Amino acid sequence: MGYKKCESAAVSAARSGLEYSPDMFEARTELENQVMSLFARGVWLTKEDEEIPITEMTEQHIQNTINMIQKNKDDFRRIYIPVFRKELKKRAKLREVKADE
């Protein structure tokens, strides 16, 4: 992973409320490189190798993905969990606002 990608991943991590550590983004495999690049852009890679913006995932898909990641404590994609939870909270607030209208 190049410096610029690592730097933008760090910026993205900071914006999403994650604690950044440089080794967090030192990818060990080609897949990890790809996932870290997608993470920096707010995109999830599905099991079918489709890139999908987190904002376009259904709430059920987000929750299922969180559950899948949590089953494997060593899954490097754990960095997504706070981002997924933030997205779910944002959507819940939007529903509240719409319900109050």
Phi and psi (nearest 5°) for 44? -105, 145
pLDDT of residue 5: 42
Length of the chain: 101
Q: C-alpha angle with apex 90: 87 to 47, nearest 5 degrees?
A: 20
Q: What is the pTM of this model?
A: 0.67
Q: What is the pLDDT along the chain (101 residues), one digit of tens a residue?
A: 333 444 455 555 555 555 555 555 554 577 788 888 999 999 999 888 899 999 999 999 999 999 999 998 878 889 999 999 999 999 999 988 888 87
